[in-house]
A and B are shown apart, each in its own frame.
Chain A
Amino acid sequence: MDAVTIPPPDQLDSLDDDSFRLVVREFLRQNYPEELRNPPHRLHWNECKDWYHKLAEKGWLCPGWPKEYGGLGLSPSKQIILTEEYERYGVARTPDHGIVMLGPLVIRYGTEEQKKRFLPKILTGEHIWCQGYSEPNAGSDLAALRTEAVLDGDHYVVNGQKIWTTLATDANWIFLLVRTDKQAKKQEGISFLLVDMKTPGITVKPIINLELHDEFCEVFFDNVRVPKENLVGQLNKGWDMAKALLGFERIFLGSPRQSAYALSRLKILAERMGVWEDETFQDRYARLRLDLEDLKALYGTFVVKLKRGESLGPDVSMLKIIQTELFQRITDTMLEISGENAGLLEPMEGNRDLNIGGLFIQARPATIYGGSNEIQRNILSKNVLGLPG
């Protein structure tokens, strides 16, 4: 078989899907740093910026953006292939909120001037974005957010607090959902505001999570003055815009990859613990394995819909629930078979494939973030099953 050659970025979208997959594999083999494969926690900017710049330099940074803005202009189908191959290779997530969220927002709702001002700086890595949505009293009930922006001359004055802001310590810009009309119904008084993190009055405080890692932050706003041209889209339409941005990417919360990775490690662990041949273990493993295979099949039916150009319905919530709970059951099983090793802080025998407690703890927030599984079940019962209430 011929060696795979990597075509220039503007030709990637014209490859057929199978060739594209091979190109992605080759691209990763040539470019992705071996030591960053399957990192045990979310990487900080200083740990992954070389990879970010490499992607930027090769023109691969923004797969979903149209070519005219510097993206690859890939179809959803090819974006899914790209993500699958990244996941398979164990590629770390970069601080990608500019690429995945802010870029598409500005492209869809921004003014020409906002596009010129913000998009190129995402492509160069000069602007690293974080997302300010959740607040201490607005989690599952996000529309209850209270951080307010009040117009004062040419500026909005922002006061309030955001929480669970991923990698805010690494970011130099933040996009915010802010309340701009306190009288309106709660979804109807919210706007989208872009804020330079260096503006006086902003305080960032890292939160140590159960992984003992500072992935999340609190961000406090005390009379922060933001130029009014930093408002994106229409005033008080921020909620609709944020919802519209939740596009086909929702499928990724249900990607079987996390569970597949964990299951492969469960097998390694079971062999190491001497229970692999055990009949009762085999039955448990078979159950998990079948759940994974069936999840892959169900995931595939959603992928096929996207490939046909259809959009996702509320039933995509099923994928997120099934995937995250399977991931948790696999890591629960890891704890149950590993005896006292379950309590170790570091991977057993210094082997990253035997990161028992680490993976178990990593699996915990999966049922909380991205819309908790309780909220996903509400969506299923109301919007899919049509139950009243």
Chain B
Amino acid sequence: MSAALDESDRAESIRMIRDSAAAVVPPGGDMKRVRSLRFQDPGFEAGLFRQMGEMGWIGLRVPEAHGGSGLGLSEMCALAEELGAGLVPEPLIPCALSAGLLSALGGVGPLAQLLTGEKVVLTAWQEKADSLEVPGSPDAPRRFLPMAAGADIFLLPVREGGRIALYEQPAARAQVTVERTQDGGNFGTLQPKLGDAKKLADDVGEALAQGLDEAALVTSAYLLGVMERAFAMTLDYLKTRQQFGRVIGTFQALQHRAADLKMQIALTRASVEAAAATLDAGATGDARRAAVSRAKARASEASMLVTRQAIQLHGGIGYTDEYDVGLYLRKAMVLANQYGSAALHRRRFMAVSPEVEE
């Protein structure tokens, strides 16, 4: 198991994952593919999603016994960071959540087709905005399903007695309305229909709570990649753009602002990597929740700050759709509040974290 890897093996494993991400994140940050998929259905490439399956990414966290790669959150976060830098739109994070659930239940349902990337399987857990609660109401519409326009199967948590059971509902006959998102993708709203659904398990509550925490952390890592690349583009611009006879990066007011952004990125990286290590070391319950909430609160806020300032520091060119830095702002707008906003995670952190004694 991953937690048993020693430190140098771990670093090597993370480096390999980062290298493998280059297969879908073009070097030099070419956004041609990303742009061609924007505001079209389904918003991503099914073929590339299958490629992710072949590379073992969808089941990166799934134990080898269930057909996964059996790696840890440190590897998953490293991968997500690379994908974030390239604004990769394929729904890896929500599908990895589904894979984690099906694996935790013993490898049930469409796990095999999901791991190969043949089927896009989305877990329809959410009933209201900015929440990590899973009420499991049988009839309530499930909201904010990422890339639902390309879904094949929905996993439907439903409260039965004191437990949350899990059903599988095919997307083919499902009633789904789709709204476009700022990053060019989409959110679906599913009207559950238990008559069309097949029961997979009786109690998915704890697996789902853990899966949502992991999705929040991996989203933080994706946002880290978003802000790193937006910041790198901004630094390049500060070093090359000339006004008043010199490069604008020589103006101290702009230097200080860039330094402030760098510090927020450094804090985000430290927080995300610490949380991943904490979870890989086996943290559960409040310890897990505290680590994840710290990372997501930081990543959500910092990613909005960095991408907003990236536009400002670029001036007029940053406000054009043609220049790529705006794509990073739009991605942050969609992900900053997914799997919990900064405010939600700050509240949760205070609720679950013991006070530090000095």
- Residues on B facing A (Cβ under 8 Å): 39, 126, 128-131, 143-144, 179-183, 187, 242-245, 251, 253-254, 304, 308, 311-312, 315-316, 318-322, 326, 329-330, 333-338, 341-343
The answer to whether A368 and B315 touch (CB under 8 A), given A210-B326, A342-B333, A374-B254, is yes
- Is A344 part of the contact surface with B, judged by Cβ < 8 Å? yes
User: Which of A43-51, A133-141, A248-256, A305-313 touches B?
Assistant: A133-141
A342, B336: Cβ atoms under 8 Å? yes
Contacts of A364 in B (CB 8 A): 308, 311-312, 319, 329
Asked whether, in the complex, the Cβ of B320 is within 8 Å of the Cβ of A208, the reply is yes
Of the A-B pairs whose beta carbons lie under 8 Å apart in the complex, a sample of 5, sorted by A's number, is A140-B315, A210-B311, A210-B330, A344-B179, A369-B316
Given A141-B244, A208-B321, A209-B319, decide whether A343 and B129 contact each other with a Cβ distance below 8 A.
no
Q: How far is the CA of A140 from the CA of B245 in the complex (A)?
A: 12
Query: A365 — which chain B residues lie within 8 A by C-beta?
Result: 316, 319
Cβ–Cβ < 8 Å partners of A337 in chain B: 130, 341, 343
Residues 201-236 of A, flagged 1 when their CB comes within 8 A of B and 0 if not, give 000000111101000100000000000000000000
Q: Is A289 an interface residue (CB 8 A)?
A: no
Q: Which residue of B lies closest to A272 (CB)?
A: B129
A196 at the binding interface (Cβ < 8 Å)? no
Interface residues on A, range: 35 or more
A367 contacts B by Cβ under 8 Å = yes
Contacts of B329 in A (CB 8 A): 210, 364
CB-CB under 8 A for A335 and B334, given A343-B183, A343-B187, A346-B180: no
Q: Which of chain A's residues 110-148 have a Cβ closer than 8 Å to chain B?
A: 134, 137, 139-141, 144
Query: Complex formed: what's the CA distance from A372 to B257 in Å?
Result: 15
Q: Do the beta carbons of B319 and A368 come within 8 Å of each other?
A: yes
Tell yes or no: A338 within 8 A of B by CB.
yes
Chain A 338-372 interface residues, beta-carbon cutoff 8 Å to B: 338-346, 357, 360-361, 364-365, 367-369, 372
Q: Is A296 an interface residue (CB 8 A)?
A: no
Interface string of A239-279 (1 = CB under 8 A from B): 00000000000000000000000000000000001000000
Interface of B is mostly: mixed
Asked if A338 and B319 make an inter-chain contact with CB atoms under 8 angstroms apart, the answer reads: no
Q: Which A residues contact B (CB, under 8 angstroms)?
A: 134, 137, 139-141, 144, 163-164, 207-210, 212, 216, 273, 280, 328, 332, 335-346, 357, 360-361, 364-365, 367-369, 372, 374, 377
Question: In the assembly, what is the distance between CA of A361 and CA of B321, in Å?
Answer: 12
Q: Are A345 and B180 in contact (CB under 8 A)?
A: yes
Q: Is the CB of A368 within 8 A of B312?
A: yes
Question: What's the Cα separation between A343 and B341 when bound, in Å?
Answer: 12
Whether A344 lies near B181 (C-beta < 8 A) is yes
Complex alpha-carbon distance, A164 and B144, angstroms: 36
User: Are B308 and A208 within 8 A (Cβ)?
Assistant: no
Chain B residue, CB-CB nearest to A214: B321
- Give bound CA distance, A345 to B144, whole Å: 13
Residues of chain A contacted by B304 (CB below 8 angstroms): 332, 335
B337 contacts which of A164, A207, A216, A343 (Cβ < 8 Å)?
Answer: A343
**9 closest A-B pairs (Cβ-Cβ)?**
A339-B130, A339-B129, A343-B334, A141-B243, A340-B144, A208-B321, A345-B180, A343-B181, A365-B319
Q: For the complex, give the distance between the alpha carbons of A209 and B314 in Å.
A: 14
Beta-carbon nearest neighbor of B319 in chain A: A365
Pick from A163, A208, A210, A335: contact of B336, CB below 8 A: A335
Complex CA gap A141/B143 in Å reads: 48
